[in-house]
Structure 1
């Protein structure tokens, strides 16, 4: 105990808080990683490159429309619940359901496009996807509620059950159907049902005389509108690759980025206690956090990069077999984006919690428009190489606007 107190003073970290809450997350991470690796093994050994590419293309299209489910409301929801507005959980679900209905005609439009583009299998998958679309994002805010309530054990247990259900559902679909349609439907079910269970579990923690935050929808809508271009820019590259180059090319890129995504998803489990702390801190406290921990955040990113760079060849060979060997070089270059990942998350959350409106607008428009233009120009010419290059450029320039915004806060507090 004395050693923990000594390290707490030396590192300027609330180590008891992080150890207590990250212990739950560690167990969830182990199980989540195991389930993720199992799914990767199934895709690599029992699903064809064509089917995996079609599955990845449909997921990219769904990602393009993710903002319709008010995807960015989770951050203000965490802040609202932290301040006693428990009704934010119920409000967010109602709003998400209504907005998700807008996505149905859009998905049907995509289905018509792919049918006319001589890709009937993609069109068929999109038609089936519309049936579950309204429920896909409606109940997904429950983790933000549990983070605000500091119920990290419950969050971890629900995450573990979700991971086990996901791998079981994908395994059954891959074994019996081996088709992109069957795998996609299994994915939708595996995402939707655990979210509903998690939401119903959280309802019992909502105060009986709960209050509604009058600013939740306004700020959540603002953040979601700002996320439209980022969601488009984050998925249009994969859509262009899969549509005009072919599902097989998208499958290679999906494998190259799969373990990077796995690292990010597992690292965010440990990051949740951090964002819960940031949500309740002042602007001055945020600046102090940056002063004390910026270098540590970058060092964590370097360690993540080294780990993935070294292990990636073995991971791809074992889980996806030799048919995806050309994904190794792309995956290694993509792993470099992990260097700035923890730092980017912290400064981005600080900017949102401080409600830096103008900075949020700039970050969500100008860089994204440039990124979309680059995709339209670069992907048809350089294919996967172009996607990787744009991903690196995007990640390493991402913290510029948040840092400039936080620098203004520093100047403001220094004025006499």
Structure 2
């Protein structure tokens, strides 16, 4: 315990941040992420060993297209809800969730159209997968906003408790589906339908349970933030290109190089993306405090002076983490994903994008500040940089093009908010 306290104090002197607060909040979030990562790792090992690359590539393709259709779920509304709740407007959570549910049925209509087209093209397996997923996805999208409520209230322990149960339900459900596929030797068509159905149901059911529990915590006298919905709608419009850039790599790879290439790429970025999720817990913890500090002009100016130095010092630590991963990656893949050793070099290069990750705190600072002009500039410029890079590089360089495009987009994502917040 004393060793931990000494380490936190040393880190506080180095970074000049309240490490006690970050550690308290991050502990519960990291615990939840750790359990989620263990479950994801176990599932990935099953996929790597018992699913053909083509089957796994098809599965990732469906999830990527549904992820792109997530623009109908108003992705910026979650940030607006978290911001409103952190300022005491609890009813914004309920109203925001209702609006997300209504809007999310755009996913259903789009999914039916895509599925119908695939049926017409003779691809009944993917067609059925899209139709099934499109009916479940709206409930998953709208009811999962309970996480933003607890983040806004800085109740990270409660959020982690619910998150752990959500991870466990999802993990056990997907493992059961994989066991059924292995034991009964299900063909590709039945395997796809089972995996897609289980994936979306195992997310939607826990979300419904925890949403209902969260609503019960809100007082009948709670007030709404008249600006939160408008702010969320504006953010969501800005998130359209960002959402597209997040899934475009997988969609282009699948259509140009096929499902096997997408499977190789998916495993290449899997561990670095889990590392990024761990690091993101710090941004989640500091967002409510940034929301309060950016209410005042004086404290905002102070943040502009102090945050850059802290981010630069923290980048040294993430650089060390990246070096460790690069050295360990061959062993990790040999043990965990032996059929995907061709993904190792892609993964090592991709993880370099994590070095400047601490500068991502300026993304949270921009959102907390609420300056729509700056947010608009960020949310349009960064995705278009990545989209352009992917469109240019993937047709010429395949998987390397996808890795390079993502790295370019990631660097733009870190440094453009820094420049905008400093203005």
- How far off its partner does 1:285 sit? 4.1
Give the 5 Å matches for 1:199-218: 199-218=211-230
- Single out whichever of 51-60 and 133-142 deviates more from structure 2: 133-142
- How far off its partner does 1:298 sit? 1.1
Query: Structure 1 residue 251 and structure 2 residue 263: aligned?
Result: yes
Match of residue 378, structure 1, among 393, 397, 405: 393
- Single out whichever of 117-126 and 224-233 deviates more from structure 2: 117-126
- Single out whichever of 377-386 and 147-156 deviates more from structure 2: 377-386
Structure 1: gaps spanning 5 or more residues = 409-416
Cα deviations across residues 275-314 of structure 1 (Å, max 9, x unaligned)? 2222221222432441441223312321332232222222
What's 2:149 paired with? 145
- How far off its partner does 1:117 sit? 4.7
| Alignment CA distance shift 1:67-1:293 (3 Å) | same
What's 2:61 paired with? 57
What's 1:133 paired with? 137
Kindly indicate whether the alpha-carbon contact (under 8 Å) linking 1:67 and 1:228 is maintained by their aligned counterparts in 2: yes
What's 2:31 paired with? 27
How many pairs does the alignment contain?
A: 406
What's 1:329 paired with? 345
| Alignment CA distance shift 1:406-1:113 (3 Å) | same
Q: Please give the secondary structure, in 1, of the residue aligned with 2:127.
A: helix
What's 1:293 paired with? 310
What's 2:210 paired with? 198
Match of residue 167, structure 1, among 162, 166, 171: 171
What's 2:367 paired with? 352
Match of residue 187, structure 1, among 196, 199, 207: 199
Cα deviations across residues 8-64 of structure 1 (Å, max 9, x unaligned)? 567532233223223323432332222121111111122221111111001110111
What's 2:297 paired with? none
Query: Structure 1 residue 262 and structure 2 residue 236: aligned?
Result: no
| Alignment CA distance shift 1:103-1:394 (3 Å) | same
- How far off its partner does 1:395 sit? 1.2
1-side partners of 2:343 and 2:54: how far apart? 15
Kindly indicate whether the alpha-carbon contact (under 8 Å) linking 2:84 and 2:225 is maintained by their aligned counterparts in 1: yes
Query: Structure 1 residue 339 and structure 2 residue 355: aligned?
Result: yes
Kindly indicate whether the alpha-carbon contact (under 8 Å) linking 2:170 and 2:202 is maintained by their aligned counterparts in 1: yes
| Alignment CA distance shift 1:291-1:370 (3 Å) | closer
- How far off its partner does 1:118 sit? 4.7
Cα deviations across residues 370-408 of structure 1 (Å, max 9, x unaligned)? 433443343233211110111111111223432222222
Q: Please give the secondary structure, in 1, of the residue aligned with 2:223.
A: coil
1-side partners of 2:159 and 2:166: how far apart? 11
TM-score under structure 2 length normalisation: 0.90
1-side partners of 2:68 and 2:167: how far apart? 24
Structure 2: gaps spanning 5 or more residues = 295-299
Cα deviations across residues 91-117 of structure 1 (Å, max 9, x unaligned)? 111011000011222112222343455
- Single out whichever of 25-34 and 5-14 deviates more from structure 2: 5-14
